[in-house]
Structure 1
């Protein structure tokens, strides 16, 4: 987070909040599986293989879909060049809108597939040299970096950027609360809100200097 400017840090936090929002909605709709947190799905896969092999295909499919989303998003980011943020976030908005349409038509499986594709693609928003610089749908790395930064601050050896990772985690956490609240009250509106949110992020990214 310390390697990007303030406007891009704000965009990253807002995108992480979107990831938390969608993941909470997906979690509630998928009986405890995730659409962005693949570490959790990997653990569920291991447990399901032992306790309920007949449902192990669910987390396996979600993991495969996430990888497909990352792959597709990476290709689009590479093709878009300096405007990759706009292209990736536009793709995410489209996938979320399609997921909302599937929800309206009762196509639960297709909805989950589109949500997981969107969350995989989202991680290509921040890249340098083809590598992800800020993971937006998983926070373990962010918490590790925050802890390392705090340790450096306590020892007087640096670590000034630790708060950036804290705000990234808070963004996802607040988004998750909003997604859970929205899904329990108005599921379809929640997905449309997520699509509009992603579209708004794409418009915001368009205003940023190319990088």
Structure 2
């Protein structure tokens, strides 16, 4: 799917958004993640081994919210055809906006809830037939594996640059995380407003493209 230029641009934008939010979450939650549930799962195991039950419960709550968000994304996107992506993006922007509003109301706990739901929902953006995710947006382990595999293919005479789109996707997340961390250090959780605005802008661009595209 990353061979299509529009898919690659959207995937990179959303991966950067996920990295941005995860950078915020990592600092705010003292080492837990907003969108990287593999990391939270490892931390959960460590906290259980250390009998750190409050932190273990916090990690488990984040994982559960992410799963709920992923399911919510599947439900929202189901049956919407060419309009599913911008509808999902609008829902993501609303959740992020709700999270930012909660911070302004001094309810930062609800900010975390809304943002984790938004990140789970984002993974439905490239959901393939059968309910599986076609492109990973909020985690990069599989993407790095693909880079290594496709480099090996290139060395054996296969496509020389098939690995490059995956490198762009990884780079987008790293860049987003750096920007998100910087924003959090300056304006705390108010930085979520920028994420909400970015999601709304992307939704508008994708929605305009969908409305202009002839129905099949």
TM-score range, shorter chain: over 0.9
Secondary structure of the 1:186 match is helix
Secondary structure at 2:207 match in 1? helix
Measure, in 1, the Cα distance between the counterparts of 2:2 and 2:55.
42
CA contact (8 A) 1:126 1:132 kept: yes
Which residue pairs with 1:154 in the alignment?
Answer: 155
Provide the residue aligned with 1:43 in structure 2: 42
TM-score by length of 1: 0.94
Distance 1:9 1:188 in 2: 29
Residue-pair matches, total: 210
1:159, distance to aligned residue in structure 2 (A): 5.5
1:187-198 equivalences under 5 Å are: 187-198=188-199
Indicate whether 1:10 and 2:9 are aligned. yes
2:139: which partner in 1?
Answer: 138
Q: Which moved more, 1:102-111 or 1:141-150?
A: 102-111
Which stretch of structure 1 is more off in the superposition, 72-81 or 57-66? 72-81
Does the CA-based 8 Å contact 1:151-1:159 persist in structure 2?
no
> Over aligned residues, Cα RMSD in angstroms?
1.5
- Give the structure-2-normalised TM-score: 0.92
The C-alpha deviation readout for 1:119-174, integer Å capped at 9, x for no partner, is 00001111221321111000001110111111110111336321000000000000
User: Measured at CA, do residues 55 and 189 of structure 1 come closer, stay the same or move farther in structure 2, by a change above 3 Å?
Assistant: closer
Structure 2: distance between partners of 1:56 and 1:49: 6
Select between 22-31 and 166-175 the one with higher mean Cα deviation. 22-31
Q: CA deviation at 1:188?
A: 4.2
Determine if contact 1:148/1:159 at 8 Å carries over to the other structure: no
Runs of 4+ in structure 1 deviating by more than 2 angstroms, as ranges, are 79-82, 157-160, 207-211
Find the aligned partners of 1:208 and 1:127 in 2 and give their Cα distance.
Answer: 19
Matched residues in 2 for 1:103 and 1:46: separation?
30
Who is 2:106 aligned against?
106
Unaligned runs of 5+ in 1: none
Residues 73 and 88 of structure 1 are in contact (CA less than 8 Å); yes or no, is this contact kept in structure 2?
A: yes
Q: Tell me the secondary structure at the aligned position of residue 128 of structure 1.
A: coil
What per-residue deviation string (whole Å, max 9, x for no partner) do you get for residues 173-202 of structure 1? 000000000000012441110000000111
What do the CA deviations read for 1:24-70 (whole angstroms, capped 9, x no partner)? Answer: 11111111110100000001100111111232110000000000000
CA distance in 1, matches of 2:125, 2:160: 25
